[in-house]
Amino acid sequence: MILQLTPEEIAKKERRRAQNRRAAQRCREKKKQEADHVTMAFKKLQSANTGLRHEIKKLQSEKQKLSNVLQSHLMMCQKGDKSDAVIPSTSSISSSLSSSPTASSSQMAEIVVMETSTEDSSEADDTSDE
């Protein structure tokens, strides 16, 4: 049994097909825009990640240089100053530096200030002997 459609039913069916095609096209475009957005966000994050990795390497290198400078400075202080001044061991400094690489500069400054003040007091003792 074959159903014969009236012209109104045929027109209605065509309108629905056209409407469905437009909806499918909008859906495909929306999906493509979302994929493009995700791709762009991924590339931005990847670029930021690369920059941060570069920054980490730079900071690790700076930390190593400062640690070497500090260690050589401490060695000179230990050789030149036999007073009762308290000089932190390099191992305790290194461990505190490795636990907080961003604070290494301020930690270095604190240690240098502490050492400078002990050197100043020992120099004052030396000049009073004269």
Domain span at 46: 8-76+90-119
Beta carbons within 8 Å of 125's beta carbon, 6+ residues apart? 83
The answer as to whether 67 is a domain residue is: yes
pTM of the model: 0.48
Structure confidence at residue 109 (pLDDT): 55
Q: What is the DSSP string of 32-93?
A: HHHHHHHHHHHHHHHHHHHHHHHHHHHHHHHHHHHHHHHHHHHHHHHHH--SS-----HHHH
Domains in the chain: how many in total? 1
Report yes or no on 39 lying in a domain.
yes
In a domain, 129, yes or no: no
Give a yes or no: residue 130 inside a domain. no
Residue 1 lies in a domain: no
Query: Using one digit for the tens of pLDDT, what is the confidence trace for 69-105?
Result: 999 999 999 887 655 455 555 555 556 555 554 555 5
- Per-residue pLDDT averaged across 38-60, rounded? 98
Res 130: pLDDT: 46
85 lies in some domain:
no
